[in-house]
Amino acid sequence: MNEPVIIARHLSHTYQSGPLRKAALIDVDLEIARGSCAAIIGVTGSGKTTLVQHFNGLLRPTSGSIVVDGIDVGASGADLKALRQRVGMLFQFPEAQLFARTVYEDVAFGPRRMGLDRRAVRSRVIAALETVGLPKREYGSRSPFDLSGGQQRRIALAGVLAMQPSILVLDEPTVGLDADGREEFYSYLWRARKERSITIILVSHDMTEVAALADTLFVMHSGRLVMQGTPRQIFAEGDQLRKWGLAVPPLSELLLLLRRRGAAIPATAFTLDEAFEALQNSGRISKTT
Amino acid sequence: MSSTPLIDIQQISYSYMLPRSGEDKAQSIPALREVSLQVWQEEYVVLLGHNGSGKSTLARHCNALLLPDSGRVLVAGHDTRDAKQRRALREMVGMVFQNPDNQIIATVVEDDVAWALAVRGMPAKEIRERVDAALEAVGISDLRELPPHRLSGGQRQRVAIAGLLALRPQCIITDEATSMLDPLSRREITQLLHQLNREYGLTIVQVTHLLEEAVLARRVVVMEQGRVVLEGPPATVFSDLDLLRSLKLAIPEPMALAERLRDAGWPIARTALTIDAIAKELAR
Amino acid sequence: MMLRNIALGVYYPGNSLLHRLQARTKLLLLFCVIVWLILASHNLWHFAPYIAVVALICVSAIISGIALRYLARRMSILIALAIISVLSGLFRLPEPGDRLLATIGPLVTTYSLVHTIALTGGAALLAFVLSSLLPLPLLRALWRRGWLRGIRVLMVAAVLALLIFLWLTAGEAPAQRFTLGPLIMTYQNVWLQITVFVALLALYALSLLLTMTTTAVALIEGLTMLLSPLRRLKLPVDDFALMALIALRFIPTLIEEIEQLFKAQSARGADLMSGTIRERFQSLVGLFVPLMQGVLRRASELATALEARGYEVEGRQTMLHETVLRAPDYVALAIVVCLIVGTLLL
């Protein structure tokens, strides 16, 4: 694939508050290819949030190194301001961070803080709002609080896109949205990815979503990176994932069950089409006992 | 089953006003259009629909949080408009909300479960008994002394359910209670609701947009644009997946696979909706 | 992560006698001690009550399993402040009828001398403060010391005070006499300072013991029960208790929310520490407005949930943590009352 945009080597992070120490990340080695879509999965407390907060310098490593888009996050004197422009981050329920009086003002916050002149800010805001399907001439002067939850979330996305990051990290981007809302959000996200060649990093609990969208999956457990690979590879290991507290997409679960009952379904079968083909080809499935 | 329904919704309509800033005048959005529905004792009903279909609005008419503009809602024979009966009504019909955090009021779990009882001035000994029983029923007795911010989303929803159980209700309505939880917690909560329905005969009304939560229900009621468009046992309702797709509902992949295989000639029973059931059918 | 570990109150779980007392007993005892100390201050040179209070504190601390050294450490700042205040309060203008203890004679000089000292001293201080702005490496190194930067404000204040002094006394003739003092110590004043010192520290220590052995919820319930007669005056005692409880419940949650907001806005470039005043203000707004929005939304959802649980604004609430007064409560109250009466009458 492409050259890696994020490289972590022996990355570790330990929280220290008074006498309490917590090793949140232990010896993580990973590489994320530029332009790809990577997903990081793990239960709460597995370290996935701590990991992604290193990508934009919100956290610095306590040992090991992590280089993001050429910037060594752990180095003293690292230009964290430049890093935050290149790595956009959308937290859970991002609509909760909207605060300006108009949609335009909120989206313009990021570019303005980058020190751009008024014309540059304006063109960026217009472009970002266009990308998320809320064009400026219709929505620019409205109050963000008048819009629906899904629209507000897209405004928050536009606010981050307006900074023109090369990497976008999203933490549970579709939690609380229904099927339509989810599809809508991803359609705009993918549009942004294509238009601007952004590397996307997802942190998600939704395995179906992750299975459909991610090129690479990183599985975290107790602060360590325990598995990485394509969704196809990872979700074939249902039992192991369950030990780590994770579910697999329902279809993978079904295929696992069938395989256990003796069906001749190749382990590589993963999508709906492949499952259909495999079952058609195998004909009836005979019970083993 | 008794002859009168526990909840009897009779031709209700409801609109809410959207406050508009600026020159636009206030808009009236119709949320329910002449909806009728009965929920019987010990039933497990799922109200299914995408966001904005009116299902939450309908649910909130069942415990008098909302009053219909026209038509009426009877709970155990009492009209929800009767203000004097309201407290008794809310003891009969409890509701779990979407945000696990914004339902918990006390600093420790057992205090929150006891809260509704303390507010009614119940004697301390009886409170303790009921709280113990409620915590046991939802399986969080070992969490009783923890503060809410140390609990996971799923655990907090259990606390909310325990708080309702302490009032010994006849019916529990969950309003999208699982949409903010991860998939495993979602499954656990749904299983808990089924368990309460089986073991204690509690009537459950689950409001959701997820088909996988509706598959074990006794009856599924599908809503769209403030109307009931489909009603019946899951096997019937899920027989036409294209219709459900047009209602903006996401079809779980196992169900879609079963549909495809059925169309290709495989004899898969329409009642096979869960992953286990489908697997069993395929292995026949 | 850092904010989450703020200790909310200093409750130390335990099973000592002090822990087992009801919250309202402890509140009542605290109130009694306040009254005791007030009454005791009128009996000049009667040390018995104060010795008894200190003994009570020490005994309570030992019973509750809290090391006296720990108490002293938590009180260190207060002790320092109290000593300063006592030393400066020792010399006051005497009331009629006071007995003189000592007098430190007045210092008599001329205004010209005082003005000279003020001018030179002020100029020197000002020069020293201004030196912090010069880019000379030697001075930079000197000013890097934290404590020096801390008292820089004090030095500026001193310069201003001297300027004001010079301005106010500008009209005086140079040969005019300038009297400083005399500093008078009276018996009554010394007694007053001693009593204030002991009372201040004793009450602080006792309230520390109170919060260390009583959970916040029990305190609220105890306070509600003690204030219950006010219900007859139509005061919203129960509402107050509920408000305090909800505040307690949501503090950790809101702290997490603020942390999250801070990270989200920082990721967009918000910075409270650098940038123009306008930019910093915008960053502050970016924290404040969403926080308020969030709080209001929570309040609304919580209200709906409570309504659905049948909350109505009337009636007496059953207390979950406070039960009946038992033997230890009565014994503690009895002991303290006896001490009070005994030491005041002796």
Residue C140 parent element (H or E): helix C137-143
The predicted pLDDT at position C137 comes to: 77
**DSSP codes, chain A:** -PPEEEEEEEEEEEEEETTEEEEEEEEEEEEEETT-EEEEE--TTSSHHHHHHHHTTSS--SEEEEEETTEETTSTT--HHHHHHHEEEE-SSGGGG--SSSHHHHHHHHHHHTT--HHHHHHHHHHHHHHTT--HHHHTTS-GGGS-HHHHHHHHHHHHHTT--SEEEEESTTTT--HHHHHHHHHHHHHHHHHHT-EEEEE-S-HHHHHHH-SEEEEEETTEEEEEE-HHHHTT-HHHHHHTT----HHHHHHHHHHHTT----TT--SHHHHHHHHHHH-SPPP--
Q: In whole angstroms, what is the distance from residue C274 CA to residue B239 CA?
A: 62
Mean pLDDT (chain A, rounded): 88
Among the partner residues A18, A56, A145, nearest to C267 by beta-carbon distance: A56
Query: Is the separation of the CB atoms in A89 and A169 below 8 Å?
Result: yes
Q: Which chain A residues are Cβ-neighbours of C275 within 8 angstroms? A: 113
Residue keyed to tokens 């993001």: A68
Chain B contact probe: residue of C318, C319, C323 with most B CBs at under 10 A: C318
Residue B176: both structure tokens together: 């999208």
- Contact across the interface for A99 and C293, Cβ inside 8 Å: yes
Residues forming beta bridges with residue B93, ordered by sequence position: B171
What would the two tokens of residue C173 be?
Answer: 């003739």
Higher-confidence position of B33 and C157: B33
Supply the pTM of this predicted model.
Answer: 0.84
Cα separation, C229 vs C332, in Å, equals: 23
What pLDDT shows up at residue B284?
Answer: 67
pLDDT digits (tens, 9 = 90+) for A169-201: 999 998 888 888 888 999 999 999 998 889 999
Q: With bands split at pLDDT 50, 70 and 90, how would you rate the model's confidence at A37?
A: very high
What residues of chain C lie within 8 A of the CB of A96, using their CB? 257, 261, 290, 293-294
Residue B160 C-beta-side C-alpha neighbours within 13 Å = 31
Region B217-233: mean pLDDT is 95
Could you tell me whether strands A167-171 and A199-203 are parallel, antiparallel, or unpaired per DSSP bridges?
parallel
Candidates A58, A81, A99; nearest CB to C290: A99
Tokens of A21: 């120490």
C9-61 residue pLDDT tens: 577 778 888 888 888 899 999 999 999 888 888 888 888 888 889 999 999 88
pLDDT confidence of residue C128? 83
Q: Which two tokens stand for residue A277?
A: 């083909």
- Chain B residues in contact with C217 by the CB 8 A cut-off are 106-108, 111
Query: How do residues B96-152 score in pLDDT, each as one tens digit?
Result: 999 999 999 998 999 999 999 988 888 989 999 999 999 999 999 999 989 898 899
Please list the residues that pair with A11 across neighbouring strands. A28
Which pLDDT band holds residue B90 (cuts at 50, 70, 90)?
very high
Write the DSSP string, C63-114: HHT--HHHHHHHTHHHHHHHHHHHHHHTS-PPPTTPPEEEEEPPEEEEHHHH
- Report d(CA B1, CA B259) in Å as an integer: 34
The alpha carbon of residue A253 is apart from the nearest alpha carbon of chain B, in Å, by 8
pLDDT of residue C107: 78
Angle at which helices A118-131 and A179-196 pack, to 10 degrees? 130
Residues of A in contact with C267 (CB under 8 A): 56, 58, 84, 88-89, 91, 160
Strand partners, A169: A89, A201
Distances (CA, A) of A72 to A25, A47, A163, C271, C328: 18, 20, 21, 21, 64
The candidate with the shortest Cα–Cα distance to C339, out of C33, C17, C16, is C33
Q: What are the tens digits of pLDDT across the range A2-29? A: 789 999 999 999 988 767 788 889 999 9
The rounded Cα B110 to chain-centroid distance in angstroms is: 24
pLDDT in tens, A49-101: 899 999 988 889 999 999 999 889 888 888 888 898 899 999 989 988 899 99
Task: State the ipTM, two decimals.
Answer: 0.90
Tell me, what DSSP letter sits at residue B66?
Answer: S
Residues of B in contact with C298 (CB under 8 A): 101-102
Mutation pick from A15, A73, A113 vs chain C, by most beta carbons of C within 10 Å, is A113
